[in-house]
Structure 1
Amino acid sequence: MRLKLLSPGEMTAEQKQTHDEAIAGKRGSAPAPMMAWLNSPAMARHATRLGEELRFNTIFPAKLSEIAILVTARHFTAHYEWWAHKRLALKGGMDPKIIEAIRDRRTPAFDDPKGKTIYDVAKSLHEGHGLSKTLYDEAVAVLTERGLVEVIGLCGYYTLVSLTLNTFEFGLPEGEVSEL
């Protein structure tokens, strides 16, 4: 870890307020990247709120939203992010074969057209920096405009998360080994 993470007793009043707000939210804990973001308390507050919105309040159940998150984590080889969200994807009911395919950089087989479209959109955003007209039209038809906006939000937010975790070299919990 390149950064000393502050304990609540070492935080300024503004940092502590942001930390406590995160703990009181739906997560029930401070997300790992927020501990780095606390060096910019206002950014930490806004980013953490956005993360909570995208994690818990999109139109997608976890087994679908986690597709965009895992594609993002894999794109950036974000070890901590992958570790955390693989568990959440499994808990949300995602087929382990989909997770394995994303890990191995293979295109998964999807039974659900929404899952396939989310995967295609996330891959295109990261690798192609946008969507072709055909994929855009498919995404709007399958996911709705709101759904497409939320997938873009998931990919963007978890890019910030992945870059933060990678830059500050967040390690995995004791005893865990990276799959990436």
Structure 2
Amino acid sequence: MTDRLPSLSPDQWTDAQREAAAAIVNGPRGALYGPFVPLLHSPELMGHAQRLGEYLRYRSAIGTRLTELAILVTARAWNQQVEWAIHAPIAQQAGIAPAVIEAIAQRRQPQGMPADEAAVHDFCIELQRDKRVSDRVYGAALALFGEQGVVDLMGVNGYYTFLAMVMNAAQTAVPASSAAPLPE
């Protein structure tokens, strides 16, 4: 598979691309990688996307551990190898059990999750699979995370779906990772 929107050399960047890249490199991500490689071809879109992603990934109302879990469910739903390679190790470092990560990779229901993880997992599975969330699953998430948490959880799903679409269409190269690739 050929990377359709490969990395541009910094000497090829426009001023807008330089500015957009600097915002990412100087922010919490610290480097231009993953979805931002193809997005750099549209620097204004990349700038808006990176600000949304920075909030959702680093400051969402559900916290880092649960955000990383939601990212993994979304990556699996979209067969997105780049997001999986980046976020499976981060999820484990944030406290998601390796058995839960493996179950998601295998499209199996994880066993033994804490209630907050089960609520996030079920919410994301229903939203990605059914394109809606049942009253029972919504109510469980609302009880645990409140309205802002539920909205942020929806935002994580939408944002990482957007990134998956970009990288799947661009055929973005998968970085080296300690995570095993998603099975087909």
2:146 is the counterpart of 1:159: no
Corresponding residue for residue 55 of structure 1: 57
2:72 is the counterpart of 1:108: no
Inter-CA distance 73–15: structure 2 relative to 1 (3 Å threshold): same
Identity percentage over the alignment? Answer: 33
Structure 1 unaligned residues grouped into runs of 5+: none
2:8 is the counterpart of 1:6: yes
* SS of equivalent to 1:107: coil
* SS of equivalent to 2:35: helix
- Work out whether residues 62 and 88 of structure 1, in 8 Å CA contact, stay in contact via their aligned partners in 2: no
Q: CA RMSD in A?
A: 1.6
Higher relative contact order (CA 8 A, sep 6+): 2
Q: How many residues align?
A: 180
Structure 1: how far apart are the matches of 2:177 and 2:155?
Answer: 32
- Work out whether residues 83 and 164 of structure 2, in 8 Å CA contact, stay in contact via their aligned partners in 1: yes
Indicate which of 166, 171, 181 corresponds to 1:178.
181
- Can you list the C-alpha shifts for 1:54-100, whole angstroms capped at 9, x where unaligned? 11001233321111100000001111111111011111121001001
Structure 2: how far apart are the matches of 1:49 and 1:89?
Answer: 21
Cα offset for 1:174? 5.2
Structure 2: how far apart are the matches of 1:116 and 1:2?
Answer: 37
Cα offset for 1:175? 8.3
**What is the TM-score when the length of structure 2 is the normalising length?**
0.91
Structure 2 unaligned residues grouped into runs of 5+: none
